Amino acid sequence: MTPMPVAVLFRLAWRNLWRNYRRTIIMLAAITLGVWAMLFMTAVMRGMVDDMVQTAVRSLPGHVQIHHPEYRDDPSIANSMPPPDQLLLDALAQAGVVAWAGRVRVPAVITSERDTRGTTLVGIDPEAEAGLSFVADDIVEGRFLGSPDDKGLVVGRKMIDDLETRLGRRVVVMSQDPDNEIIDRGFRIVGVYEAKLENLEEAFVFTGRRYAQSMLNMDESISEIGVLGKSYRDVSDLSHLKQLEGSAREVLPWYELDAYLGTMLSTMDGFVLVWIIVVFLTLSFGLVNTLVMAVFERIREIGLMQALGMRPSMILIQVLLETFLLLAVGLAAGNLLAVVSVAALSDGIDLSIVSEAMQWMGVANVLYPTLEIRDLVTTNVVVIVLGLLAGLSPAWRASRYQPVEALTKV
């Protein structure tokens, strides 16, 4: 017998789906909502992790950080390093390096006429720092620093409130010089910044790099070099910097500087796959039930088709095609609903009601869901594969009916 054309099998499968349209619509609604839930929750989680990583990267580390090998254990002036030599400057000028900046970064105490707080004094080159870290973009009062010699101080909004001071007032900043002598200097507050995370507003105060070096008797030494690449997800373009590592400097990517965020990003893909499988396993019970009932209602018809010469393999393919079409329609609707939902939330989800918990996790008050193409592809592939596996049992059962027994079923 000539094999039945695939187009005919598709037509039969499509018509069989709508014999009991109520059951099909209910199953399609379940698949659509399930796919939407998979994609939307994945987009929310992606957005949360991306926000945490990008906020951490812009909180001064950069994609790669260069510093003295002992600086991370003891961030003092004693563990500073000399300015970049020509070899390092040539490496920083290579393709893949979007921006870089040398910084002075030391523990300090800031005092107003009202209160005293611990913080970190950061001496920066304003032009190099623009676009590399958060501070240049988050000034809400006053001005940003004008040059590496600027004697002004840029302070966070939360620090201003803690010290009960304001823009234009003078504060005293104290730290230690290379001889472990206390150094203090009066600064005028010239700018106030508001960071995405409130705790950053207490963590850092900024002044000109050369002025900080002069205050701390550091000569030309710096604490670190922050390097920005093209993407935090792939810092392979900056791998040539690792070759310059030695006894005088240590080169580390951001995910080694912050192991917590690095682990979160690496486990995110595994979470997405587990989440999709768990949701679909719930849906699979309804899918299998729908197919079993569809087969049960057509036992005599299947027996007649076999008696007329239709091979069991064609019966199996037909039922699997019904499964595929059911999944395809549900996936198309679910994908569309997810894309529309994420697009509707392009302005972000306001999480200010739980801002303290979000700040503790390193997430800003506004969360922006991120739907990536690879998540769409993963979801669709997993649903199709698992769906066809779920439909294999009723399809196999339908193909195993004996024509005589099937025709005599009531």
pLDDT in tens, 243-285: 888 777 888 888 888 777 777 777 777 777 788 888 877 777 7
Angle at 327 between CA 324 and CA 333, to 5 degrees: 140
Predicted confidence (pLDDT) per residue in 76-109, tens digit: 888 899 888 888 888 888 888 888 999 999 999 9
Residuewise pLDDT in 10s, the chain (410 residues)? 445 567 777 787 788 777 777 878 888 888 888 889 888 888 888 888 777 777 777 776 788 889 888 888 888 888 899 888 888 888 888 888 888 999 999 999 999 988 999 999 999 999 888 778 778 778 899 999 999 999 999 999 999 999 999 999 999 999 998 888 899 999 999 999 988 777 888 989 999 999 999 999 998 899 999 888 888 777 777 888 888 887 778 888 888 887 777 777 777 777 777 888 888 777 777 777 777 776 666 666 666 666 666 777 777 777 788 888 888 898 999 999 999 999 998 887 776 665 555 555 556 667 788 888 888 888 888 888 888 888 777 777 776 766 656 556 54
Residue 110 CA to its chain's centroid (Å): 35
Choose among 78, 82, 79, 112: nearest CA to 181.
Answer: 78
Phi, psi values for residue 132, rounded to 5°:
-95, -40
How much is the pTM?
0.70
Choose among 35, 17, 8, 7: nearest CA to 387.
Answer: 35
Helix (H, G, I), strand (E, B) or coil at 120: strand
Please enumerate, as own/partner, the contacts of 177-184 that have beta carbons within 8 Å and a separation of 24 or more.
Answer: 177/77, 177/216, 177/217, 177/218, 178/77, 178/78, 178/216, 178/217, 178/218, 179/217, 183/215, 183/216, 183/217
In which residue are the tokens 């709508």 written?
18
